[in-house]
Amino acid sequence: MEINQLSSLEIRFETADIIGAPFSHQILLTMQFSDKGIGVDFQIAYIDREDLSEEEILEEGFTLNDDYSWKGIIDNAWANPIKELLKKTPQKYNHKALEEEMNFLEIEVNQQSSGNPLNQNEWEYLLQELIQAIYETSQKEAPFHLEYRKIDKDKNVSNFELNLYYSKRQAEGINSIGKNAVKTITWEQANAILQQVFIGEFIPDAALKNDPKHTGKYLSVGDGYWYEFTKSLKRPNGNKGYLTELEKTFDPWVD
């Protein structure tokens, strides 16, 4: 898509039909671009909960009112990634009826009707990043923090911390045992790590609530638990080399 001047962008999103309550939701995100920042009007509404009891909603980790709206300014660091994705977006849109397992996503550029982009997965990922930027900027959520720890048989500890500041679109890596040195890491490198991490199967009931002390490899992803490789963090179905590759991903950052 050719964009000479981007003044506004609207993203409309709804979860797929097969995703039921309390997870099903709708999102409306409107953005206005200027030199001072990106003005946003954000709304998320959870739908189809009428037939669920309070207990059923709470058991899934939700509250009884998860709807959220916010108007404000997010950092202009997000302007170029948005423009770059628009450039990659084909001008031809998908007008076919969506399949049951597909989310609905539609964009409108400069108040001109557009549609469902063919590169929808990329737009869904950017939308999630923008939502995190909104949540951080509005102080609804703290910056994302991940920690990898490896304890060898001699009790030597290697540790790497990854902080993602969505409000500024910046990443920070810290070797926090021994050198305690900040390591240069790009936003793209940090996101590649996250995408690899979260295809794994996390089992909170088998995870540690306290800092690990025994030989092993562990991940903390900001939810208060330490997940041990092979025990509470397991490979996804069909990916036998997942944990080995994950260790290889982190090892360069802890040296």
Tell me the per-residue pLDDT of 26-48, one tens digit each, with 9 for 90 and over. Answer: 999 999 999 999 999 999 999 99
Tell me the per-residue pLDDT of 165-198, one tens digit each, with 9 for 90 and over. Answer: 999 999 999 987 656 688 889 999 999 999 999 9
- pTM for the complete prediction? 0.91
Token pair for 13: 């999103």
Tell me the per-residue pLDDT of 192-228, one tens digit each, with 9 for 90 and over. Answer: 999 999 999 999 999 999 999 999 999 999 999 999 9
Identify residue 189 by its one-letter amino acid code.
Q
Rg of the chain on CA atoms, in Å: 20
Burial group, residue 217, by CB count within 10 angstroms (0-12, 13-18, 19+): buried
Total residues found in the chain within this entry:
255
CA dist 168 and 255 (Å) reads 27
Instruction: Give 204's DSSP letter.
Output: G
Asked whether 164 and 144 are in contact (CB, 8 A), the reply is: yes
- How high is the pLDDT of residue 254? 83
